[in-house]
Chains A and B, each alone.
Chain A
Amino acid sequence: MSELEHYTLTINGQERHVSDAWIGESLLYVLRERLGLPGSKGACEQGECGSCTVYVDNAAVCSCLVMAATAVGTQIATVEGLNEDGSLTDVQQAFVSEGAVQCGFCTPGLVMAVHHLLDHNDSPNEQEIKEALSGNICRCTGYGRIFAAVDSVISVRRSTSS
């Protein structure tokens, strides 16, 4: 039995201690407000917008709907950990190159969703891409530039692997 007002999370491969936390705090809140990782964005707080997407044990989930204290013992990955040296990943670069970023608020969540899709399926069709990104809401772009960025990553990865 463990009373978890103080607990340790494993985030981007590092142990991070959380102290004096209320048990109802979401993982999103703990990441942003307690651990200085503001990459995951908070918008809807009810799992509808996807801007807080992180990976918990390799599953892409909304961090606003994960009770942080129940994530002890899991491997958590956030957008800050995609590239350890802080450079852009191919997905992030494609978002920049294709103009898929306007206000940018949805971008970290979309980048996480796109990486998750392409890590599991290197040649998704249009329907699969739309379905994979259906949990990430963007109110600026109309999605066209986002899909163009995904297509660009797919073709670049295909040409470099062949």
Chain B
Amino acid sequence: MPVFIPSTLSEATQLLAGYPDAHLVTGGTDLMVEVNFNHRHPDTVISLRKIPEFQQWNIDTKSAVVNIGSSVPYATMEHGELARALPALAEAARTVGSPQIRAAGSLGGNLGTCSPAGDSLPVLSALNATVHLQSETSSRSVAFADFMVGPKRNSRLPNEIISGVSIPLTNGWQGYAKVGVRNAMVISVASVCLAIHDGDVRVALGSVGPTILRCFESEAWINSVGLENVNPSVAQEFGDRVRAESRPIDDHRSTAEYRRHAVGVLATRLLLRGVQL
């Protein structure tokens, strides 16, 4: 029943090759809830917290991309240079759990768990992020859209470790909004990320489908209308179209009907914020 704390990525991928059933853990905020409640009983754990490159981030202005290691905590994304580069990610990070959770939780964990309610995931979708995966023998990069394939399911292979993400900068506005049952310490009932790049709107929804949903039809519609023509009634129709693209279900957290309503309101609101109306 070993726990490993590798200090290099190559050591980690070698360990995973030898223990393909090992649980990979960074902050532990998802895994430990399941362990504490006896839903999971790990035999082998590989902690990724000591791998230096997983804790690093940088803004590559030349290629207009932000690279964030998979163990960088949400707390780092909430303020400072990273928050100025990626305001939508900062807003999403600030809604994750509590300060204690944000000091431990990371994008690597959100991607590994791949819950449709994962707060960072709509941002990664709307910003066309790429997920980097490393195995003992190879590395590959996958578009977020191809990474998340279902509720709590992703295309990571058993011998691969999520090493980080690359998030293209946008030259327009970006923002994130979330509805939950209270203001702090809450799991998303519905969430929306809207980003504008080269005058084009992109919108992604969380907690209203089996995966994060990109609203390509609504995007095409608003981009044919043109951002310069957005007014409150256009924004309302945009919200209605986004609502129609959502695929929510009833569950213990909310109803499909309310979620459908909420994503429409959030999309309208974000579009108006995006054009400063």
Flag whether A111 is at the interface (Cβ < 8 A): no
Chain B residues, Cβ within 8 Å of A132: 99
Closest to B182 in A: A134
Contact indicator per residue, chain B 222-236, by CB within 8 Å of chain A (1) or not (0): 000000000000000
Q: Return the contact of A4 from the options B2, B15, B31, B50 (Cβ within 8 A).
A: B2
Contact (Cβ within 8 A) B45 A67: yes
Does A113 count as interface, using CB distance less than 8 angstroms?
yes
Q: Assign chain B's interface to a size class.
A: 35 or more
Judge whether A99 is part of the interface by a CB distance below 8 angstroms: no
What is the count of residue pairs linking A and B with beta-carbon distances less than 8 angstroms?
113
Q: Give CA–CA (A76, B133) in the complex, Å.
A: 31
Q: CB-defined interface of B11-30 with A at 8 Å, one 1/0 digit per residue?
A: 00001000000000101110
Interface flags, B92-112, vs A, CB<8A=1, else 0: 000001111101100000000
- From 59 to 76 in chain A, residues with beta carbon under 8 angstroms from any chain B beta carbon are 59-62, 64-67, 69-70, 72-73
Report how far A59 CA is from B33 CA in the complex, Å: 19
Partner of A135, one of B28, B49, B101: B101
A19-73 contacts to B (CB < 8 Å) = 22-24, 26, 45-48, 50, 53, 59-62, 64-67, 69-70, 72-73
Interface size class on chain A is 35 or more
Choose one: B2, B33, B99, B185; the contact of A23 (CB below 8 Å): B2
| B4, B41, B99 pick with most chain A CB within 10 angstroms | B99
Minimum CB distance partner of B44 in chain A: A23
Cross-interface CB contact of A5 among B1, B25, B50, B99, cutoff 8 Å: B1
User: Is the pair B32, A26 in contact by a Cβ cutoff of 8 Å?
Assistant: yes
CB–CB B100/A53 < 8 A? yes
> Which residues of A are found within 8 Å of B75, using beta-carbon distances?
59
The 8 A-B pairs with the shortest beta carbon distances in the complex, nearest first, are A135-B98, A134-B184, A70-B47, A3-B2, A59-B103, A69-B3, A45-B36, A4-B3
Contacts A/B (CB < 8 Å), 9 sampled: A2-B2, A2-B5, A24-B41, A50-B100, A59-B73, A67-B31, A70-B3, A113-B100, A134-B184
